[in-house]
Homo-oligomer: A and B are copies of this chain.
């Protein structure tokens, strides 16, 4: 099967010409009489203009031009051409077996947690920088007994002298083990994996050996190939939560780069991530619902957990359930940590919201009885 890519051009572009430039220039390039004997080989590798509709051209590339990874794919479909002028990649359709599958994904994460029938609730350590490892343990000891499913470092939290990654892990690991005795269930701590390129895989292995049961990874700032390396390593046998940091630089412009749905949906789903974070359209970052819905489909179709994020609070739960059913991780930072009655109440507010939303209770604030959810709705409202 060919790899099909849609390119959208601004008004006034000679689309037929640009489509040919891509089909030829991103594959074989030109050849002359010297290479007549190779003509067959060249034709086998040329891209083909499949169709041009309105402002979009579709090019089919031979799968044999690339290596089943994200990097050679990006080089072929948009490497040099990205520098040629205004054009945006709006869709990439790949053969079923292209890329790296998640080790765990939705089903594997559910199995680890023993939770099969509801959305998961996830928190973020806040403030992002300045807390010590002990502070992390303290925060986790507040939220873990409330039944939290997942917690993650802030993506900005690197391996800093003031809160080294292995010390954060140690402090949190103790809390997780204690909480398991209380709640009877596991809690995943997605520890932020950072470091220079030469130490990432080894550090991830050591983190897992030291008790990390999940990793957070800024896939776009480190690169898709780093994510593949982690996902393909048998010793790194914990779920990887991929964070979208820097996605706006690739996806935010109207006429350049790639759609968010391509980068955070299609490509993330093919690079071994088990769960992928991205902005929710009803959250605090500007994001189109149509992009979010494509991301959801691309991820769920490959058993990757969607994690709509940024500005999530208990009031968005009915909306999230309507969009995702139970195949979603509700990921809140301040929406848990800044709950008026404290972070544990923040977690409880989410579970209360889930219970109510799943049986169809209205979220009109005045109809909700006093308690964690009511306090959250009073503070953040409902969407």
- Report the Cα distance A223→B75, complex, angstroms: 12
Nearest B residue (CB) for A252: B256
Contact B244 A250 (CB under 8 A): no
26 contacts between A and B (CB under 8 A): A29-B127, A29-B333, A30-B127, A30-B334, A35-B127, A66-B158, A69-B196, A71-B194, A75-B221, A78-B246, A79-B246, A80-B155, A81-B248, A82-B252, A83-B247, A83-B251, A83-B310, A86-B252, A89-B249, A197-B223, A197-B227, A221-B224, A249-B250, A250-B250, A253-B254, A256-B256
- Report the Cα distance A349→B42, complex, angstroms: 28
Contact B75 A155 (CB under 8 A): yes
A219-255 vs B, CB cutoff 8 Å, 1 = contact: the mask equals 0011111111110110000000001111111111111
Is A258 in contact with chain B by the CB < 8 A criterion?
yes
Residues from chain B with a CB closer than 8 A to the CB of A132 are 41
- Report the Cα distance A135→B34, complex, angstroms: 12
Residues from chain B with a CB closer than 8 A to the CB of A162 are 41, 64
Q: Which residues in window 66-98 of A have CB below 8 A to B?
A: 66-72, 74-76, 78-86, 89
Contact A82 B156 (CB under 8 A): no
Residues from chain B with a CB closer than 8 A to the CB of A383 are none
Contact A253 B247 (CB under 8 A): no
Selected from B100, B161, B244, the residue in CB contact (under 8 A) with A83 is: B244
Contact A248 B83 (CB under 8 A): yes
A79-123 vs B, CB cutoff 8 Å, 1 = contact: the mask equals 111111110010000000000100000000000000000000000
The 9 A-B pairs of least Cβ separation, nearest first, read: A223-B223, A82-B248, A79-B245, A253-B253, A197-B225, A197-B229, A197-B228, A83-B248, A253-B256
Residues from chain B with a CB closer than 8 A to the CB of A245 are 74-75, 79-80, 82
Q: What's the number of copies of this chain in the assembled complex?
A: 2
Contact A246 B41 (CB under 8 A): no
Is A195 in contact with chain B by the CB < 8 A criterion?
yes
Q: Chain A interface (Cβ within 8 Å of chain B)? A: 26-32, 35, 38, 41-42, 44-45, 64-72, 74-76, 78-86, 89, 100, 126-132, 135, 154-156, 158-162, 194-198, 200-201, 218, 221-230, 232-233, 243-258, 279, 285-287, 310, 333-334, 338
Selected from B28, B85, B130, the residue in CB contact (under 8 A) with A44 is: B130
- Report the Cα distance A160→B66, complex, angstroms: 7
Selected from B78, B223, B232, B333, the residue in CB contact (under 8 A) with A226 is: B223
State how many angstroms separate the Cβ of A54 from the closest Cβ of chain B.
Answer: 21
Contact B65 A229 (CB under 8 A): no
Residues from chain B with a CB closer than 8 A to the CB of A250 are 249-250, 257
A71-B218, A225-B197, A252-B86 given as contacts; is B65 within 8 A of A127 (CB)?
A: no
